[in-house]
């Protein structure tokens, strides 16, 4: 289901008409791919990309999710996810938590037995996210232009299976991330991921900085971009 690309699910769409709008979610795309980021990297995964984001990170690779999309009921989304036969589901966006019913979707996916992860900017409250969901929470570095949106109180809701992620555009971002990890003792709470902004910061430079500083962080590249480049739907 690639709602943003104009493809819909006709039979399901007519059923959804009976569901009140406030019980539906606006979806940009649902697709099956290899998880390219975070702890579940490499697993065949179904991605549910919710439409809309209140942030505008300078380097965002998913600007096509800011607008458009199609409304779908949670039952429809679950049916589409099930069609792909994967164990892992990643709810992403856009900023998924900017739609309140995302919380219900996450709970329903967990109840259905999926291994569920949530990619979130860290700008919205994560307190009510189902504890079974693995949160992958960005802390936005200065060069993202969205540093002021970091919601520091979210750190209190991180559990051992969650991840804090820093996407870094250059050395200044790196210095800030290193100081933030230290200040908040993040590596003692959960995995800390450092990733270069794709095609901006050289991965090798980031790797050498992490090694030189003996940082307790996990470096990562976006595997799907090595496989498929910037094509949406992967
Ligand atoms: C597209 S965002 C959607 C979820 C949520 N809005 C967020 O920012 O976490 C998913 C992940 O992709 C990362 N990302 C976006 N553009 C990127 C880029 N150009 N290079 C590396 N990572 C990027 C984000 O930092 C985030 O960790
Ligand atoms: N393959 C693949 N893995 C991903 N992991 C997180 C993604 C995202 O856009 O949030 C993503 C994505 O867009 N594609
Ligand atoms: S918060 Fe996520 S989706 Fe929104 S602009 Fe930043 S990277 Fe893109
Ligand atoms: Mg992506």
Query: pLDDT tens, 127-139?
Result: 999 999 999 999 9
Indicate which CATH number applies to the domain containing 29: 3.20.20.70
Q: Is 230 among the annotated ligand-binding positions?
A: no
* 93 CA distance to ligand 1 middle (Å): 9
Angstrom distance (rounded) from CA 122 to CA 138: 5
Give 2's pLDDT tier (boundaries 50, 70, 90).
Answer: low
Q: Is the pLDDT reported for residue 212 higher than 60?
A: yes
Output phi, psi for 122, to 5 deg: 85, 5
Q: Is residue 153 part of a domain?
A: yes
Q: What predicted TM-score, i.e. pTM, was given to this entire model?
A: 0.94
Q: Is 188 among the annotated ligand-binding positions?
A: no
Angstrom distance (rounded) from CA 133 to CA 42: 18
Is the CB–ligand 2 distance for residue 93 below 6 Å?
A: no
218: enclosing H helix or E strand: strand 218-219
Q: Is the pLDDT reported for residue 19 higher than 80?
A: no
- Map 191-212 to HEC letters: EEEEEECCCCCCHHHHHHHHHH
Q: Domain total for the chain?
A: 1
Q: Is the pLDDT reported for residue 6 higher than 50?
A: no
Render pLDDT for 129-171 as a digit per residue (tens, 0 to 9). 999 999 999 999 999 999 999 999 999 999 999 999 999 999 9
Give 15's pLDDT tier (boundaries 50, 70, 90).
Answer: low
* 197 CA distance to ligand 2 middle (Å): 14
Q: Is residue 82 part of a domain?
A: yes
Render pLDDT for 168-208 as a digit per residue (tens, 0 to 9). 999 999 999 999 999 999 999 999 999 999 999 999 999 99
Q: Is 53 among the annotated ligand-binding positions?
A: yes
Domain containing 96: what range?
Answer: 3-228
> Which ligand is in closest contact with the Cα of 117?
2
Interval 223-228 mean pLDDT = 96
The pLDDT of residue 13 is: 45
Q: Is the pLDDT reported for residue 1 higher than 70?
A: no
Q: Is residue 233 part of a domain?
A: no
Q: Is 4 among the annotated ligand-binding positions?
A: no
Which residues 6+ apart lie within 8 Å of 77 measured at CB?
Answer: 25, 27, 30, 48, 105
Burial class (CB in 10 A: 0-12, 13-18, 19+), 11: exposed
Is the CB–ligand 2 distance for residue 34 below 6 Å?
A: yes
Atom of ligand 3 at shortest range from CA of 62: 8
Which residues 6+ apart lie within 8 Å of 142 measured at CB?
Answer: 172, 173, 176
Q: Is residue 218 part of a domain?
A: yes
Q: Is residue 110 part of a domain?
A: yes
Q: Is residue 199 part of a domain?
A: yes
Asked if residue 223 lies in contact with residue 86, where contact means CB atoms within 8 angstroms, the answer is no
- What is the complex's ipTM, to 2 decimals? 0.99
Whether residue 16 is preceded by a cis peptide bond, meaning omega within 30 degrees of 0, is: no
Pairing of strands 134-138, 163-168: parallel
Is the CB–ligand 2 distance for residue 173 below 6 Å?
A: no
Which residue owns the Cα nearest ligand 1 atom 22? 197
Give Dmax over CA atoms of the chain in angstroms.
59
């Amino acid at each position: 289901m690639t709602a943003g690309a104009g493809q819909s699910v006709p039979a399901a769409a007519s059923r959804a008409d009976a569901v009140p709008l406030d019980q539906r979610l606006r979806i940009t795309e649902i697709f099956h791919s290899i998880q390219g980021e975070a702890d579940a990297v490499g697993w065949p995964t179904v991605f549910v990309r919710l439409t809309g984001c209140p942030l505008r990170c300078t380097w965002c690779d998913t600007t096509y999710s800011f607008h458009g999309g199609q409304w779908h009921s949670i039952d429809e989304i679950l049916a589409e996810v099930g069609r792909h036969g994967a164990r892992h589901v990643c709810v992403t966006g856009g900023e998924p938590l900017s739609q309140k019913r995302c919380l219900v979707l996450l709970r329903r996916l967990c109840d259905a037995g999926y291994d569920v992860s949530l990619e979130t900017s860290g700008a919205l409250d994560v307190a009510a996210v189902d504890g079974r969901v693995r949160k992958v929470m960005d802390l936005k570095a200065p060069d993202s232009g969205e540093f002021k949106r970091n919601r520091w109180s979210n750190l209190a809701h991180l559990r051992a299976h969650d991840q804090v992620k820093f996407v870094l555009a250059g050395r200044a971002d790196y210095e800030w991330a290193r100081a933030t990890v230290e200040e908040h003792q993040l590596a003692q709470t959960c995995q800390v991921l450092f990733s270069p902004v794709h095609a901006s910061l050289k991965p090798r430079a980031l790797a050498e900085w992490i090694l030189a500083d003996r940082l307790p962080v996990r470096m990562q590249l976006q595997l799907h971009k090595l496989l498929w480049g910037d094509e949406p739907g992967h």
